[in-house]
Amino acid sequence: MTEIAAVYGSPRRKGNTSTLLKQAVAGARDAGAEVAEIVLRDLKMSPCLEIYGCKKAGQCVIKDDYGKIEELLQRIDGLMLASPIFFYTVSAHTKILMDRCNSLWVKKYWIEKHPFGPKTYPRKGLFISVGSTKGKRLFDGALLSVKYFMDALDMGLWKSLLFRGIETEGQIKKTPASLKAAYDAGKALVHALEGDECLDENQGLAEDPQQ
């Protein structure tokens, strides 16, 4: 069975990205996937301490809740990540997870010595984001972070659902088309993982994912 992790990156439990991600989870489950939901604000997770204990075995050595999800993140076929835009990038909760996943980057590029450069990804990710303003470049920062984060997970950014001009808690519920788009994307992700008809958004990253 196709296995997906749904990561809630907002500090709000009933916020806009959480509402959208719940729809995507419903779509993915209706398409037959098994979905594990991870609410980042419920996890006790230190930021990366940059001690590179992960160099030994590609596993983070900080003992906290990241240890509970590190194996899952390597096993899943697909990821659905939802984060609000905070100062033109992802939320702090989301960024802490991204940085902790540097253990997987180290495993991939330093320990297993995967080559840098263009690749096709067997695993796929969906990114959902919302911001209150309407600027053209509102999602640029977050998208770059998400693409390189997903690369560390050996995953291509398959699709991103981005909504501007949404601020108050639950405001997204007033736009049923957004909710439907999220449900449909969850369903379509499962179909994309089971076939190969869909192109990833980050085929050919602008730069090698070197640090």
Ligand X SMILES: Cc1cc2nc3c(=O)[nH]c(=O)nc-3n(C[C@H](O)[C@H](O)[C@H](O)COP(=O)(O)O)c2cc1C
Binding site for ligand X (CB under 6 A): 10, 12, 15-18, 84-88, 130-133, 138, 166-167, 169
Handedness of CA 51, 56, 60, 61 (dihedral sign): negative
132 or 175, CB closer to ligand X?
132
Cα 170 from Cα 3, distance rounded (Å) = 28
Is residue 204 exposed (0-12), middle (13-18) or buried (19+ Cβ within 10 Å)?
Answer: exposed
Quick one: tokens of 89? 């990038």
Q: Looking up tokens 């980057």, which residue turns up?
A: 105
| Closest residue to bound ligand X by CB | 15
In the complex, what is the shortest distance from the CB of residue 126 to ligand X, in angstroms, rounded to a whole number? 15
Cα 62 from Cα 100, distance rounded (Å) = 9
81 or 205, CB closer to ligand X?
81
Quick check: 26 and 99 in contact, CB under 8 A? no
115 or 176, CB closer to ligand X?
176
- A 10 A CB-CB count for 62 gives 17
Quick check: 79 and 7 in contact, CB under 8 A? yes
Quick one: tokens of 196? 């190969």
In the complex, what is the shortest distance from the CB of residue 166 to ligand X, in angstroms, rounded to a whole number? 5
In the complex, what is the shortest distance from the CB of residue 194 to ligand X, in angstroms, rounded to a whole number? 29
In the complex, what is the shortest distance from the CB of residue 17 to ligand X, in angstroms, rounded to a whole number? 3
38 or 193, CB closer to ligand X?
38
Identify the bridge partners of residue 156 per DSSP, sorted by sequence position.
Answer: 124
- A 10 A CB-CB count for 187 gives 19
In the complex, what is the shortest distance from the CB of residue 189 to ligand X, in angstroms, rounded to a whole number? 19
2 or 18, CB closer to ligand X?
18
In the complex, what is the shortest distance from the CB of residue 26 to ligand X, in angstroms, rounded to a whole number? 17
31 or 92, CB closer to ligand X?
92
